Structure 1
Amino acid sequence: MPVAPPAIGHVEVTAVRTSSDRAAFMELPYRLHRHLPLWVPPLRGELRALLDPRRNPFFGHAEVRLFLARRRGEVVGRIAAHTNPRFEEHHGCSTGFFGFFDTIDDVTVARALADAAATWLGGHSRPTMLGPVSFTTNDECGLLVDGFDQRPAVMMPYTPAYYPRLLERTGFTTAKDLLAWEFPTTLHEDPGLTRAAARLARGRALTVRRVDLRRFAEEAELIRTLYNDALGDNWGVCPFERNEFGILARRLKPFLCPDLVVIGQVDGRPAGFGLALPDIARALAAARGGLFTCGLPLGLARFLFARRRLDRARLVAMGVSEEHRGRGLELLMYLALSKAAHDRGMTTTEASWVLEDNHHVNAATTRVGGRVTKRYRLYSRPVPTR
């Protein structure tokens, strides 16, 4: 484990303004967390694109300020403060956000970072700050508070155990917990579930089809529409714009398996969707943050080798339009995804994340043999406004 430097010396927090500042902002977690055996380094190219205003459409409607904390010239922490007018318009609120929170184990550094973000958000008339959200709830969000003995699933964070303590000591309180559920890929073999699915579907013309990757753009737009319709009213959800989802879809396309992405239909018309991915977190960890070193595909070779041994899937999202919920379509999609994952040699699926107070989904997942394996937490703090 990395050893924090002594908590002495003035902490200076400054905004990221230069290319060297931006490079330091991006590199800090690789330096801080390289000793954590279960941390999955993000690919530097993807992180660079996420933070690039020219490549990430989030910057087209949001305001973002990145901060670095230094002690005696050494970078010891980072944080981002940002607004999201589309989120506020959708949910009818005025909320500021913080994200990309990384720091040494030092409450003085954490407090200085949080205060800098709060001051900036207060200047933008946001009375509350919520996070970590980097940049939206469609990206990585939350701090890990339970499940430190397990590798995170793809596109889920792994944060040090001391982070919650630091935030709580700087005035943050729990806003919401997010659950990661794990269940076996044998649901389709359960006689009770298959009988229940047949009974619910009888006479209702419920069907499930897999996506057609030959019509990738059309299918991606359909899933975006179903996502916004089915999940848009959930707490914290930020509806996808067309260009935002298009970028995400193209980013995921190399890893998509058509039988792990399904469309639920009622009378032949789309009414729901389920999106699962092979859990490539182990392969990403093998890449060590990059696919190429000095022009050589060393990380890519390690990634491809580790990818051959994947035995887990991650259910990223599932939803059914409100008018068709509770009719059995959800169960049919669960069973279809279970069989697809099982046929690919995957033994478990992680469904993440699910709101702690989404009692319907949590109860249904419990009934099919699921168990909570990880818990993530979002924090909030009042912001003094001018």
Structure 2
Amino acid sequence: MSIEVRQVKSKKERKQFITFAWKIYRGDAELNKYWVPPVIADYMKTLDVEAFPLYEHADLALFTAWKDGVMAGTIAAIANRRHNEIHQDRVGFWGFFECVNDQDVADALFDAASGWLKTKGLTAMRGPVSPSMNDQCGMLVRGYDSSPVFLMLYNPPYYNELALRSGHHIGQELLAWYIDQKIIDIDRLRRIALHVMKREGLSVRILNMKDFDNEIEKVRDIYNKAWEQNWGFVPMTRKEFDFLAKSLKPLANPHYIYFVEDSNKRTIGFSLSLPDINQALKHVNGNPFSPFGLVKYLWYSRKISMVRTITMGVLPEYRNKGIDSILNTQIADYGGKHGVFASEMSWILKSNEAMSKLAKVIGGKPYKEYVIYEKAIA
């Protein structure tokens, strides 16, 4: 039995790289029950070095593995120069890993990624990161009995064994917190929020869609300042953030995007939540833009019952002052009025005790766990 690894060169091969996942999940009834096919057009852009702004400061290589002439796996290798400049290390990344349950195939993929990263002068590899820490990352290790929410990942349990047997070790653990807003003591949360607003002289408002570009710049500024000390964080460039904002704008509900302002109308905090459109995407087989796919997407979008709080950010001088209570009150109040009582806060570092404490205070339970693996490059 021979295993061949090929580097992706053409647009056709890139699409083949993306759609290989269907072989893994469609062929397994249990996996297919929960897996949400990626939007093929979105992944095509993300893996296009000419279109995706990350690659202005990062290099990308895509590899496919073939066993006896049949495609058996995929992996991406990413050399993020901006990451290494900021963190003063020589770490490379791997992501978009899909593989049959075959250790030899997995080893061949990991070897191809590490070999390419080594040519970039890197001494360690970290993943899955697809393709950056500001995108999708982490391999699911707990919580296989429900579908992933929007922009979170799902994978077969055996992927973890493939990584561990290939010499990877756990670098960081990530949590997704499930919040049942029906059990939140919303009256207590409101009282706390009002107390904090009065004490600090603050007010709260929703996103102004008519001033979208300026609003997004406020989010970018606070996001980069609020998370700069977080493990693995790399500030997003204006071009990266604008690209992301443009792609998410059609999904944005301004009543789930909040700004907290001081008495001088300076924005000091924000929260960004989005409807869990995975509940609709699950039914369109990766093609929501086809005529039939669009009809199905719109139909199932009417029944979305969950939101994902992707991030909250507060300026450093306002940390530990209860600003989160203001934001969470708004999310819970609006959701409750519109029949959306479930939310996920993700992802949060397991070692981030402050965020875990916040999640617990509002009734959250850690129901999914992900791992980012690390391995030295020989």
Moved more, 182-191 or 39-48: 182-191
Say whether 1:326 aligns with 2:323: no
Say whether 1:42 aligns with 2:38: yes
What letter corresponds to residue 3 of structure 2 in structure 1? V
Deviation at 1:23, TM superposition (A): 2.7
Contact 1:186 1:339 in 2 (8 A): no
What letter corresponds to residue 112 of structure 1 in structure 2? A
Moved more, 35-44 or 178-187: 178-187
Contact 1:64 1:82 in 2 (8 A): yes
Match of 1:168 among 164, 176, 186: 164
Contact 1:141 1:378 in 2 (8 A): yes
Cα displacement string for residues 162-221 of structure 1 (whole angstroms, at most 9, x for unaligned residues): 100100000000011110001123587533322222333333112211110011111111
Say whether 1:108 aligns with 2:108: no
Deviation at 1:346, TM superposition (A): 0.5
Aligned to 1:373: 367
Report the secondary structure of 1:289's partner residue: coil
Match of 2:212 among 208, 216, 236: 216
Contact 1:287 1:299 in 2 (8 A): yes
Match of 2:20 among 28, 41, 59: 28
Q: Give the Cα separation in 2 of the matches to 1:199 and 1:43.
A: 43
Say whether 1:79 aligns with 2:75: yes
Q: Give the Cα separation in 1 of the matches to 2:327 and 2:11.
A: 46
Say whether 1:182 aligns with 2:178: yes
Q: Which runs of 4+ in 1 moved over 3 A?
A: 186-189
Deviation at 1:20, TM superposition (A): 3.8
Deviation at 1:105, TM superposition (A): 0.5
Say whether 1:335 aligns with 2:329: yes
Aligned to 1:317: 311
Cα displacement string for residues 13-43 of structure 1 (whole angstroms, at most 9, x for unaligned residues): 1211234432321211122212421111111
Say whether 1:283 aligns with 2:280: yes
Contact 1:181 1:372 in 2 (8 A): yes
Deviation at 1:260, TM superposition (A): 0.2
Aligned to 2:377: 383
> What percent of counterpart residues are identical?
35
What letter corresponds to residue 141 of structure 1 in structure 2? C
Q: Give the Cα separation in 2 of the matches to 1:143 and 1:129.
A: 15
Aligned to 2:139: 143
Q: Give the Cα separation in 2 of the matches to 1:382 and 1:335.
A: 44
Cα displacement string for residues 297-337 of structure 1 (whole angstroms, at most 9, x for unaligned residues): 10011100000001101000001111111112111111111
Aligned to 2:54: 58
What letter corresponds to residue 10 of structure 2 in structure 1? T
Give the root-mean-square deviation of aligned CA atoms. Answer: 1.4
Contact 2:169 2:374 in 1 (8 A): yes
Question: Structure 2 vs 1, CA of residues 312 and 195 (structure 1 numbering), >3 Å: closer, same or farther?
Answer: same
Contact 1:210 1:259 in 2 (8 A): yes
Contact 1:185 1:339 in 2 (8 A): no
TM-score calculated relative to the size of structure 1: 0.93
Contact 1:187 1:335 in 2 (8 A): no
Say whether 1:90 aligns with 2:86: yes
Ranges in structure 2 where 5+ consecutive residues have no aligned partner: none
Report the secondary structure of 1:37's partner residue: helix
Deviation at 1:274, TM superposition (A): 0.1
Q: Give the Cα separation in 2 of the matches to 1:337 and 1:193.
A: 11
Report the secondary structure of 2:200's partner residue: coil
Moved more, 46-55 or 162-171: 46-55
Match of 2:270 among 269, 273, 289: 273
Aligned to 1:133: 129
TM-score calculated relative to the size of structure 2: 0.95
Q: Give the Cα separation in 1 of the matches to 2:166 and 2:173.
A: 19
